[in-house]
Amino acid sequence: MIALCRKIMNDDDKGKRFLELIDEQNNLQWNIVVKLSLLINSKWSSTDLKNELESLVEKYSKITKELNSLDDNGSIL
């Protein structure tokens, strides 16, 4: 019974973390779109925007990897 409670709590924690990551990923997507738009408007000449965009894409990739690691059984939580 204790093991079942731990699994349920663990699944609840995973679900909460999943929702947090999805929210963070969504915010990053919008930031990436904004930076891309600004970069296009600068005719791709802004080094600062390129660096910011690269950083956002790296964060997005890390979140995606963490999301995938939460899904042990190949199902959507």
Q: How far is CA 20 from CA 15, 16, 55, 57, 63, in A?
A: 9, 6, 20, 18, 10
Q: Name which of 15, 19, 54 is nearest 36 in CA terms.
A: 54
Q: What is the pTM of this model?
A: 0.76
**Cα separation of 21 and 60, whole Å?**
10
pLDDT band at 10 (very low <50, low <70, confident <90, very high): confident
Q: How far is CA 46 from CA 8, 56, 61, in A?
A: 49, 15, 23
Report the pLDDT value the prediction gives residue 12, as an integer from 0 to 100: 83
Going from N- to C-terminal start, the domains of the chain cover: 16-68
**Cα separation of 74 and 63, whole Å?**
17
Report the pLDDT value the prediction gives residue 30, as an integer from 0 to 100: 97
Report the pLDDT averaged over residues 5-17. Answer: 73
Report the pLDDT value the prediction gives residue 6, as an integer from 0 to 100: 53
